Structure formats: C-alpha cells, structure tokens
Structure 1
Amino acid sequence: MENFEYFNKTALNKLLILRKGETKFGEKIAIPSQESAQFADFLKNTDAKFIVYGIKEFAGVKANFGRIGQKHAWDVFLPVFLNIQHNKFLKAHHVAVIGCFDFKVYEEEIQQLNPSEPGQLNRLFEIVSEIDKEVTYLNTLIHRAGKKAIVIGGGHNNAYGNIKGLALAKGAAVNVVNFDAHTDFRALEGRHSGNGFSYAFHEGFLNTYCMFGAHENYLNKFMLHQFKEQPERLKLYTFEEVKVRFEKDFQTSINNIQRVIKSKPYGIEIDVDAIENTPSSAMSPSGFSVTEARQFINQTATSSNASYLHLCEGSPSFSTAADNMLGKLLTYLTTDFIKAQLSVVK
C-alpha cells in the first residue's frame, strides 16, 4: 500500500484533548505497528473488531464532473472521533484506527486535468483504477482477518474497492445497501465516482444492490432501465416515494431492505449528500435529516453479516459552518454502526 499513511502514537497525542476525570476514546483504541510488514499480523491478532481508516482523494469525483473539495473528511473526523468519551455505552478497545490513504502523488496532476477533454478524462479514469487496487487490497486484508471495516472519506468511487475487497475475502458476491441521493449506477465508461456499483455488479462482486433515497431528478434512462430489467437484484427506493409523496413508509422500507440483504455479507454505503445541507460534492437543500441517517445505520447494521460502513463524499471545503460539524456528523454515524454491531456480534 504505497499511498497509505499509518496512524501512530505521535499523531494520536497531537489530537487528544485530555481532561481530568475523563477517559477519551483515543486513549483506549488500538494502533498498528508503524512497520507495514507487520500489519497483516496486527489485523489478525488485535482484539479490536472494527478497523477504521480514511481515504483522501477527489479523483473519482472530478472524473464524474463533480465539484472537488480542498479539505478532506478524514481530517475533520479524526480529532472529533478520538475525543469522544470512552464509557459504558461504547468501549474504545473494540476499535482500531490504522491511518489513511493519501493519494497526494496524483494531486497536482488531478488539479490540472480537464474532464471535458477526452484524453484527460481517460487519464482520470486510470488514476481512479489505480486507487481501486489499493482500496481493494486493504479491504481484503481486513475482512480476511475477520474484522469489520469503517471507511471514512473519498469519493463514492471507493465503493468498488470496498465491495470487491469484501467479495474476495468471502469468496463470493456480496450485497450492498446505498443511502444516497444518486444511484452511482452509471454506464461502464471508465472508472469514476458515479459507477462504482455498476462496475462491481457487472464484474460479479455485487449480488444484490439496494438503493435507498435516490432523487428522481437525477435518474437517467440507463439507470432506470437497469433497475427495471433486474428487479430481483436491483432494488430502488426514491427519496420522493418515501419522504415527499409517502408512497413507501420509511421504517417499512428499511425493514424490507434488511430482509433482502442480510442473508449474505453486506456493506452499508452512506453518501452524505443524501443528508440535507451536508457539505459534499453534490450538496442538496432537500434530503434526509441527520437523525434519519443515524436511524438508517442503526437498523441496517443490526446483523452479523453487516461487514463494513463507508461514509463518503463529505468535504468541509463546502461548509460555511465550523469544520467540526462534519466531523461530528461522521463520528455519530460511525459510533451508531459500532453500537448496532456490538448488539449482535459478541
């Protein structure tokens, strides 16, 4: 993993804010050895059930003609997460923070590439494919060690690596539920943030895909055709059906999704653009509330087959509020997943 930066005690101590009479989460988490050669052994031997890491890249978003941020979600998530309380509601020894992918080797090139130029767009596709390889490899390691992955940041292109890594570790196609304003099931035109699920599906890594919360204004003919042609494996719940026209009940829809996906190992994908006014590439004034997003994770994660959580597309660059508001949101969603899992995974 050439572009992975391992977390360590020095970085931890810079972020911890200690208070007398309190125990902060970061004081009790597991941290890997700085020697990458020992990393697989760390995953195998640690008592931590949940492996948290970040991804810092906007290549997939730019290749999908989206807005790219200048600051990354991981940078605002980590200091908040490490400074929550270690208490009876959540014990930090269940968690390891291992570090983050930082694809700064491509950063200058990505900034200069113009996706409107076919040749330059193809180069962006190539970069995303390189990122795919590293994300896939790490996820495979985590799941082969019997751990759950919690992935923070990056574009939704990284869903592909999450899905493929889990499928390779399990030796079979897996299921996914995506809480998102967009299906990210675009045509197979080169890798970007809008087709991670369609590529995983086409290549046989994704068995059943449940799409929850898609905005009808952004469903193109290709997407609608795919969901119509394969209704047993592709499930669609639009935001308007659930929250505007009330044709489908929020709670009942979640229950139906859970019944469909829980028979196999599955991932929970959360694009924060589905949450109203959350700073992201496709930030929207209309969407689910933060509390509804937390409820969604809590309920979809209550199965031993829930194998990973991915929180993507957040960018504090697009926020007019204090940066730590996004960090707090991502922390709530992360701890909701862990708590739900601990209720079923002993």
Structure 2
Amino acid sequence: MDKLRIYTQGDVLELVNTRPGETKLGEKVLVYHHEPTSEDQTTLANLKNSPAKFVLLGIPEDIGVRANYGTGGTASAWPAVLKTLLNTQSNPFLTGEEILVLGHFDIAEPLDQSITALRDKTAAIDLLVYPVIQQIVAAGKIPMVIGGGHNNAFPIIWGTSLALQEALNLVNIDAHADLRNPEEGRHSGNGFSHALAKGYLNQYRVFGLHQNYVNQALPHFIAKHTNLQACYFDDLLQQASLSQSWSSFVEDLDSPLGLEIDLDSIENVLSSASSPSGFALNDIRSILLHNRKKWSYLHICEGATKLANGREDLGTGKTIAYLVTDFVKNYLNIKV
C-alpha cells in the first residue's frame, strides 16, 4: 500500500558517519514526532509546533517519467541526497536545526507496465502527495521536495495552493516546458498543464528553456497566453550576467511563489534527459544565493544516481545537497 513513511531519529542517525571533533547536519536536524498508535501517518497535526522552518521530503519514483516514455531511474536520487545532506557539516553557516526531515513516500510498482497503467498510477501518486504538501504549508513550513519525476510538480502546486487558498506564481528552471496536453493522462510532461487547467497555477515561467526541445506549436502557445513566459537558454548564452537575467525574469512576480529545479537543465548531471549543454551547477547555485524572493516551496526533480539504461553517477546526491543547503541559507538571510 502506498504511504508516507515518517522517519524517526534513529532512521536519520543510522545514515550519519560520525567523526570526533565534527558535528554533522544529521545530528542536528529535527524529525516529526507523531503518536505511535496513530494509524494515519499522513496526519501532521503537530507539525506547526516544530521550530524548523523547512521540511525535507522525498518522492523516490520514476513512474511518471516512464509514463512519458522517458528513461527510468529517478527513484534512485533520494537515498543519495539524504545520505549526503545528513553528512554535511553542521556549522555557523547552517546548523541543521532549521530543517525537519519528514520522510519519503513508499510507492509500489504497478503490476501492469503499460503506458495507460503507468499514467493511472501517476494520477494515484498525485492523490497521495498533495494532502501531505497541503498540511506542511498550512503549518507555516516550506516543503523541500526531492524527486522523482517532474510529474510531482502538480500535486505540490495543488497542495500549496489549497493551503494558501490562492493560485501560485511559479518559476521552473528547466530545459523543457512540460506543458503537454493534460488530456493524455498524467505523466512527467504535463504537470504544469494540469495545474493551469485546475486553477492552482497563475503565472508560469520557464527559465533556461532549450530551443532544440521546443515543439513547433509551443512558442505560439506561450505568446498567446499572458500568464506564460519563457527565457531561452540559447538567449542566456548571449547575456553578460546570468544573475541579472534571473533577477529581471522574476522581479515582478508576487507571492505566493513556487520554485522548480529540473536537473535536466544542468549540464552533465545524470537525469532522465541528461544533456551536455546547460547551466553549470555553480550557475544554479549563484541564482539561489543571489535570490531575493521568498518561495513557498522548492522542488528538485529528475535527477538519478543510476538510470535504467545502466548509466551511473553517484555525484548526483551531492549536486542536489548543495542546492538544498544554498536554498535554506539564502532564505534565512533575506531581509523582508
């Protein structure tokens, strides 16, 4: 049965490599204390009482990616990210007490591996994820969600919008727009189409869209809708300052805001659609550290340590861990 697995302190500490004279984030992060007799672990009634501002959550699945005819493997990122993050040094820059490690979703593989069945299962994952996100945001916390496929953007937007009782404005750092037809059934390529159609998403902007992966109709579709906007990676290559381009792209967006980072956008990161051309990791780190917006959530997706085609890269966990720590440190330093 699909469910949210909530971590205990023991689950976290088991992953920490201790060393004399050092303190790791895993020794300082918080966990959610729920009643052990409770049968419904998705009820997070006590979350608002936690002093942590950020809630870390994993969705280790690749069903939505395969439902979009993509290469499986995105389920492999979460364990690597968690291990790396928990073994990051606790220090004056980030102690770890700012973060509550909630857990991850256990999602069973469907017996039927047809595209139709995978899309039905992706829709079922939506129903599993959005109520948890809704409770996290309603508790005044900021979910940091590690995927998993980009299909999970939809339930994250859904839950956040319900909690805040308004549609979100969203920026997606991505080589692809993921605006495919929602009538196809749920998959990793139409999460934002669904969110727009359901009224949970207001302004949707893609930063770093690759011209080589835009179908013939998409530029006209974006131009026709005032709430859609794209900044092409090909144009950014001709700009002197990436940080300035980013600031100009997002400066007029009002809260509530969501931030999506698809690892397909970073060059040579193992992902469902890896590319030799894209942002450098330090480009995305610079964007996060220069940011002056208060985001309602962070979603990092499509990364993998091992793909179904046999390709492996254990460095993906560290890549994502850098982005998570940058996001937290920057958010805490923004003066509003």
TM bucket normalised to smaller: over 0.9
Equivalent of 2:190 in 186, 195, 208: 195
TM-superposed deviation, 1:248 = 8.0
Matches within 5 A, 1:44-83: 44-69=48-73, 72-83=76-87
State the identity %.
40
Equivalent of 1:314 in 300, 303, 308: 303
2:55–2:143 Cα contact (<8 Å) kept: yes
Matches within 5 A, 1:16-165: 16-33=16-33, 35=36, 37=40, 39-69=43-73, 72-103=76-107, 105=108, 107=109, 109=111, 113=113, 120-165=114-159
Q: Which amino acid aligns with 1:142?
A: I
1:214–1:238 Cα contact (<8 Å) kept: yes
> As a proportion of its length, which structure holds more helix?
1
Aligned position for 1:297: 288
Aligned position for 2:223: 228
Q: Does 1:342 align with 2:332?
A: yes
Runs of 4+ in 1 over 4 A off after TM superposition: 36-39, 319-322
Structure 1: give runs of 5+ residues left out of the alignment: 114-119
Aligned position for 1:219: 214
SS in 1 for 2:101: strand
1:187–1:222 Cα contact (<8 Å) kept: no
Matches within 5 A, 1:172-183: 172-183=166-177
Distance change in 2, residues 1:208/1:90 (3 Å): same
1:186–1:222 Cα contact (<8 Å) kept: no
Q: Does 1:7 align with 2:21?
A: no
Q: Distance in 1 between matches of 2:150 and 2:293?
A: 24
Q: Which amino acid aligns with 1:219?
A: V
Q: Which amino acid aligns with 1:74?
A: W
Matches within 5 A, 1:281-292: 281-292=272-283
Q: Which amino acid aligns with 2:21?
A: G
Deviation digits for residues 18-50 of structure 1 (CA, Å, limit 9, x no counterpart): 111111111111111254657523311000000
TM-superposed deviation, 1:297 = 2.3
SS in 2 for 1:32: coil
Matches within 5 A, 1:259-274: 259-261=251-253, 263-274=254-265
Count of residues paired in the alignment: 329
Q: Distance in 1 between matches of 2:248 and 2:263?
A: 22
Deviation digits for residues 229-259 of structure 1 (CA, Å, limit 9, x no counterpart): 01x311101111111xx16852332112221
Q: Which amino acid aligns with 2:96?
A: A
1:56–1:101 Cα contact (<8 Å) kept: yes
Equivalent of 2:319 in 325, 329, 333: 329
SS in 2 for 1:19: coil
Q: CA RMSD in A?
A: 2.0
2:58–2:104 Cα contact (<8 Å) kept: yes
TM-superposed deviation, 1:83 = 0.8
Distance change in 2, residues 1:2/1:45 (3 Å): farther
Structure 2 length normalisation: TM-score? 0.92
Distance change in 2, residues 1:345/1:54 (3 Å): farther
